[in-house]
């Protein structure tokens, strides 16, 4: 019970820090906000902020990293007999459920503009994608008992993550162009089905649980 309570408190603190940072970034942009200001807004110390988010860029991309973790978990916990690509695709498509909400579209617009004006955020996003691609490749390599220098797991992981990130970039462009609501969701799902259908032809028999 005590351990569960501690974890809930930690999660609550993490969420409060993230929300405080998001509000400040939305109002003033990423570059002009300091970690000290985020700490004051969340009513915690700077040390506490860094305990949860090692860098300011991690504060901005907390939501993105949470979803990437979910993608890895979807592959890790998929049912017997299912290829990794199907579990990965299913979680990506499920992520479209909240795209129709107005608040979600507004968040995409704000974050897209902030990222475009910050070279450090552009670089950090690239690093996050590379790191999660490597982690997915490690997972696939372990499942398929590949040799340490085998390229196949990394190629498969790169295909999956590349498709996912292409969909993210496509959605940003559509939202910034003014698309909203159910049409945005339907558009995302159509693009996802078409894109994943291409790579599934090569990966449907790979890393079957």
Query: In whole angstroms, what is the distance from residue 57 CA to residue 200 CA?
Result: 33
106 and 126 share one domain: yes
pTM (predicted TM-score): 0.88
111 and 194 share one domain: yes
**Could you tell me which of 34, 150, 133 has the C-alpha nearest to residue 88?**
133
40 and 78 share one domain: no
88 and 3 share one domain: no
Kindly state whether residue 207 falls inside one of the protein's structural domains.
no
35 and 18 share one domain: yes
Domain harbouring 69, CATH code: 1.10.357.10
What is the tens place of the pLDDT at every residue in 130-161? 999 999 999 999 999 999 899 999 999 999 99
Mean residue pLDDT across the chain: 93
Q: Average the pLDDT over 35-63 and give the result.
A: 95
Q: Average the pLDDT over 81-92 and give the result.
A: 96
87, 196 contact by CB (below 8 A): no
178 and 98 share one domain: yes
36: containing domain: 1-55
List the alpha helices (DSSP H) in the chain: 2-28, 35-42, 46-52, 56-60, 62-76, 84-94, 102-116, 119-144, 152-176, 181-203
What is the tens place of the pLDDT at every residue in 156-182? 999 999 999 999 999 999 999 999 999
171 and 88 share one domain: yes
Query: In whole angstroms, what is the distance from residue 144 CA to residue 107 CA?
Result: 39
Three-state DSSP class for residue 83: strand
Residue where one domain finishes, among candidates 55, 77, 95: 55
112 and 9 share one domain: no
50 and 85 share one domain: no
Kindly state whether residue 208 falls inside one of the protein's structural domains.
no
């Amino acid at each position: 019970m005590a351990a569960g309570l501690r974890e809930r408190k930690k999660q609550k603190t993490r969420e409060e820090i993230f929300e405080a940072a998001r509000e400040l970034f939305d109002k003033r942009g990423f570059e002009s906000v300091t970690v000290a200001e985020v700490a004051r807004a969340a009513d915690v110390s700077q040390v506490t902020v860094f305990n949860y988010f090692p860098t300011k860029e991690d504060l901005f991309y907390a939501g993105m990293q949470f979803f990437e973790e979910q993608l890895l978990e979807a592959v890790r916990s998929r049912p017997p007999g299912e290829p990794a690509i199907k579990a990965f695709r299913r979680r990506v498509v499920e992520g479209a459920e909240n795209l129709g909400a107005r608040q979600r579209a507004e968040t995409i617009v704000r974050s897209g503009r902030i990222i475009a004006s910050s070279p450090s955020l552009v670089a950090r996003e690239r690093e996050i994608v590379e790191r999660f691609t490597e982690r997915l490749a490690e997972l696939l390599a372990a499942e398929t008992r590949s040799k340490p220098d085998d390229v196949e797991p990394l190629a498969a992981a790169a295909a999956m993550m590349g498709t996912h990130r292409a969909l993210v970039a496509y959605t940003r462009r559509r939202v910034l162009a003014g698309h909203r609501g159910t049409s945005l969701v339907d558009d995302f799902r159509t693009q996802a089905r078409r894109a994943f259908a291409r790579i599934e032809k090569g990966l449907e028999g790979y890393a079957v649980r």
